[in-house]
Structure 1
Amino acid sequence: MVAAHETTLRELLEGAKQYRVPLYQRTYSWTDSQLGRLWEDIRKLAEERAEDPSLTHFIGSLVLASSPTHGPSVSEFLVVDGQQRLTTLSILLCAIRDHRAKHEDPDHRDRIDQEYLINKYKPAHRLKLVPTQADRAAYEACLEATPQAGGSDQVGAAYRFFAAQLVAVDDPDDPMDIERIEDAVISGMALVSVVAQAGDNVYRIFESLNNTGLKLTQADLLRNYLFMRLPNRGEAVYDSLWFPLQTQLDSGELEQLFWLDLVHRNPEVKQTDTYTGQQARLDGLHTEAEIEAEVRRFCRLGTLLRVILHPKEEEDPEVRRRLTRLNAWDTTTVYPLLLHLLDRRQQGTATSEQIASAMLYVESYFVRRLLIGRATASINRILLRIVTDMRADLPVDEAVRAYLSVGRKYFATDASIREAVRSIPFYLNGRATQRKLVLQWLEESYGSKEPVAADSLTIEHVMPQSPTTEWRKALSEDLQGEESFAEVHEALVHTLGNLTLTGYNAELSNSSFLVKRVQLGKSGISLSRDIADQKRWGRPEIHARADTLAERIIAHWPGPTEEAGNRSEVPWDVMNKALAALPAGAWTAYGDVAALIGSHPMPVGVRLASHPAPNAHRVLQTEGTLSPNFRWLDPSRKDDPHDLLRAEGVEFDKYGRASQSQRIGVEELAQLAGMPQQDASGQLLRPRSSHNNALDDRFLEQLTDLQDAQVAHATVAVLEAWTDTGGMLLYGTGGETSCFLMARGKDHELGNIWPATIYPSGKFEIVFQHLSTRTPFDDIALRQEFRRRLNELPGVTIAAAKLALRPGFPLDVLVNATARQALIEHLGWFYRQVHPGA
């Protein structure tokens, strides 16, 4: 007989219990997207339970079977279904325990251990959760808080993810915030526990739970509910109102409409609760006339949503322009406000001029946040609350501006813009499409009579990302004191002052500035004119252009009200989030951190020496040595940081320098900080048999332009061997035409997969980050084997700490015939793992 009941994590874990994941179960495989959804649910629930402690959030079921070895002193269960969920919550408890023990009281360690993680007095059954064999060592490292905790495996990645989120959410002015998070996890996460008794077919239960078939959408459910309430008027209402509505909007858009309608009343409502929320509201209506009026209202709002989704249908030119831009920004959480603005105009309480002005303030808010490196921080929550929280006594545009200007909403002031444009790595923030939009809109602000087609433009680094000897010599003239070339280059290369738009990215590539200025001078891009007028391109010129662009931005995009103050903030929380996610066995440099947050190495060092920060001991000098001024913030600590780093897996040479192969650079730090990364979803696939493809030609042109003949020939030899094996090639459509070595296409039942990406500028990138979510390389043992094989190549050393990132090696490694042949063999091995029958 099956026993099912709703429970909480507290009830599951309290007492002498043990949950064993059978060996035949899949290894732990949750990725950042699943972890992020869970974390967002927990964070919101923690806030809501502060006002109503009875609130819970249902996260699914847990199917258990009594263990054959079930003993009298410990209740033992096999986890038939739900092990990913249970493992994730246990890892999160480890992270909460470590965070609270470090920042609040060491007693939290024993308390959380004994209540939820271990059976202290049952040594034979010490762990409450026993993961599958492949995950056990990584989980025990987190449980025991050893130096190996937070490694590059999936368990370690989950621990680092939660550690970083806890650092980001911990407000020094709110001593109870992490306690509320713990309470939400322990008492607010509701599960249905299904316990199969002896003789039950637990696999039949599992099958019935997961064999859901084709589900009705929430829009389908709401339609059925509405017309159930219209026994007499149903047919007429359907023909006159509902049918035109569903002709205007597809099923997904209809569901979005019903959610947007709820958000106007309750900004916290989740889109997954649309049907239940609307049903609860509509249950208060009693007559068919009232239900028909609701359908009529939905039909009117649907017409407005149609305009939001298709701005060309808007009649007012300025409203149409603003809607088009916000639509291009691709942030759907602005839709509740847009629907409200159009509704206000339709109701006669706002003019077209006012709602266009309100949309400009929102656009300015987006752009200014991106420029200061705050593109995503709390953005959804802020946007969803505008309609309910903005002042009703102001014109709607001023109300929107006033709401965005107060509190911690990151509506950047003019002073912040002037500082950030000089220092923040614009190219590493926000989504690639949004970065291009900002540059495109800046170009439009010049009012050129001959606008250039946006589709033909890409972002160009004037000072290249991979500098040549000529560029190194030019920039070296600007070095001051003990500055290194690498530090100054990283601090400048991704800033807005060094970026422009061009249709000649391939032709420009890594060319000298003398060549680039001629090409830029020929283009019709206004953004490039002041660059073409310069005689050299170094730090003074980049800063001067940044200052000019900052003034144009300030003039073009209005800032917050005076209530926002004239604040200027360094995003130390971004640094803390990246450092919290820094894997054991890795290190980074002060210059890398400084480039990430738009600061300088010295202020970063001062900050780490005076304020608590996760893994501060993993921040070293550029050459891999410990700073002479390093001191533990805790004066009672006397241990040598070198010993701790060695215990974590960092390798030092005889001169005390950490291995450069284990260094996490600025772009990898951006990955760890959760900055959106460009993926391959917009790339174009070309079968190798076709030789007239423009992208193929462009890749080869860039490769031969940027590399010498030996490197280019060796790279092409690897590509030919890959296609001979059965692989395909996928080319990027960005300014630098990257080449993806595809082992499976996106139409395959298991999804696409590729081992590496080649960049003509000189990098052979191994995409471990991507592989961790693709069968069969979601098995960490296969990724570890792939890394081991690659490290056999002469000149290649990929650190274990980078097993969750996208490390690489220079293309010139391939010139060595032994290395090239070995790589071809290892890529063949990869292909056979993906296609066992090949």
Structure 2
Amino acid sequence: MMDVQETALRTILDGTKQYRVPLYQRPYSWEKSQVQRLWDDIERLASERTSATAAGHFMGSLVLSVGRTGPAGTEFLVVDGQQRLTTLTILLCALRDYVEKNEADGHRRRTMLHESYLVNRFSEGDGHLKVLPTQADREAYRAVLDGRAPEDANSNIAIAYKFFSQKLRESDDPEDLHDIARIEEAILEGLVFVSITARGDDNVYRIFESLNNTGKPLTQGDLIRNYVFMRLGRAGDEIYDSTWLPMQRLLDPKDLQQLFWLDIVMRQPLVTQTDVYASQQKRLEELPDDEIAAEVRRWSGLATLLATMRDPSREQHPELRKRLTRLKDWGTTTVDPLTLQLLSRRADGIESADAVADTLRIVEGFLVRRIIVGRATAGINRILLAASSEIRRDQSSTDAIREYLSTGRKTYGTDGEIDVAVSTIPFYFQGRPAQRKLILQWIEESYGSRERVDPTSATIEHVLPQTLTPEWTKSLEPYVKEEETIESLHAGLLHTLGNLTLTAYNSELSNLPFSKKRVRLAESGFQMNREISANEVWTPKEIAARAIHLAELVKREWPGPLFVDKAARSGVNWDLAHRAVLELQPGEWTSYGDLAALIGTHPNPLGHHMAKVNLEGAWRVLQASGGISPGFRWADPTDLRDPLEVLLSEGLHFDSHGQAEPAQRVGAEQLAERLGLEPGEPLEGLSVPAGEDDRAERFLAQLEDHNSPSVQHGVLSLMRSWTRMGGELDYGWGESTSCVFLIPERIAGARRVRPIAIYPDLSVEVGFQHLVVRPPFDDVAVREEFRQRLNRAPDVDIAPSRLNSRPPIPIEILGDDVARQYIDDALAWFFKKFDENLE
């Protein structure tokens, strides 16, 4: 049952009673703005009561639970209202001390205020205090209560006491003998609460949880602490002192709240920070009360590790300290769950510090390589948050994380992509400025120079300057091709990694000719600058050579993915497409379909590839209709030119619908002729059989979104090969639109047979589970032969135990022409087996 009544502060505090703030409440947190608002209300109330003695001010509800009752009085647990109640007793302390020093009957009034409303005069220890805050506040509160200055002058309690003392001095009018008395009366008689007292079986914590808190909003961390100490009951005092309070002091409030999210997201990657309390409470409810203390101790251990993540200087192992420092400087907090899990594995003795450092090096390399290849942010939060759930207890974290980052749509830049990107991607615009600087700084550190240079004041310098001077223009002129201009050559080189370095005197170097710039670079403490200064000139040739050198440093410092999507083995001659684009003259255009036919691929991967490279003339590649692709972007994000205006200025004509003149189109056959290719079969790009609805197009769109151009080409090649041998394709209805390879009904009968299904965002799924009841594959020996044929492909390793399930093959493997051919051969054998069975 509950007792509800309107009660003045005098009645609440008078008598032998104690209001104990449970450990599940947060520490005192009122700040100056809240204290000021309360004081303004009290001043206004004191003024009103001069003419209306019954005037009052409603302070909200005070929710209490009856605790112990005995000769020493009654104990109440403060379920709601502790911030207000604590603030008012701090105000009474300030009033008590002020009247003692400044009022005629100060000693008498001081004694009355102190013994009637602040302490229980005949009780000792904690029972002496009428209001007993949580342990975190008791030292400061006792100091104020005893008339001493708190040790922590910046605590909220000390600040509130100081504020009220100042306001009392300001309010005391020497001409008015009763002004302070009126304030005292307003506080004790005019401030009114609705006192709600729970008795018997009322669930106090449920009441607290459901209250509409009108003070400072409770954080997710507050709610978790409240729940935990409600569960601990009186055992919570010892746990609070020994474990919770040290943890609370070790981390700032934001990181303490972050700790609970990190703990849950390591198990459930999709939990958001607004759902932390609900998720943790659900987990804790499944534990008996006696295991809650162990959870607090476990959190305390994690807090120590999180403190090391926030301050890596705490870490003793040099290499691990280096990797933690780099990730902290990088500023991507979504890597925190994985980092915390790795440090936990080290703390539990599962892995060594060296192994954890190796894994963090993989993560660091993943982040660096994505920046370099121009995919800094795509899906990064989702990828990193899910990483911690990929490590089994008995598995090497280095192997598990490298394999995880190497599969799916992670865009873990390959060595081949690094080789291309350093000369084509405008590195200066990738990622955040601080991250670009860090990469250059870490490359410098990879030289291993004994001379350590402080990079704090360094900024990124363009060796070939952003503004061309006559001298720089002259140095570029010999390298301008027929289809280029000085401006386009300059733009293509300017922001690439090969042309960038770090220097502390960027403004001094600026547009200086290289002959003078190299003198200053030779004096630099950075090894990379001394290397640049060793060149006599700085032309496209030197920039390209340095780009190759930096690519080698990047590949050496940061290992790449396990499954490599190299253009040389993809079966697609991307270089031929580049050369074809360079053959286009101003006033000419070609289509993505023409280029795709030239190199034997589909327009989608071709367009995806073109969007990633910085290629002169790329704006002359249009849609088949002659329209500009909606997805076209200049390589330089600061380039605001309208591609239509550029094409018009080159002499290309467009009709009223924005479609280019067909007579100015250069088709696939003409491109082949210009490139000197031998005449052969008619050029044909890849095509995909369309279904009766838009599912095929959805599949293609998802394939492009989640995979590199070479993987897209590999998937489409496998699909074309399957249909050419007589197979059929169907498409799934799920959010991830799959492409299912089917044996035709004329061969397989009414029950369709699927050897594989391709999920564009994940893998190639082998359908052994569906084959168990389909002759001849109901024979385990036949399924085993299919498994062995698939396993001939490099990096495919389906275990014998998976013959009754649906094992996945990483979709990236299809980007390798050799591996794809083995899988194609296995599918051809599969098709033939069904054909033979029909006969």
TM-score range relative to shorter protein: 0.3 to 0.5
Query: Which fold has the larger relative contact order, with Cα–Cα distance below 8 Å and residues 6 or more apart in sequence?
Result: 1
Q: Give the structure with higher Rg (CA).
A: 2
TM-score, normalised to structure 2, is 0.46
TM-score, normalised to structure 1, is 0.46
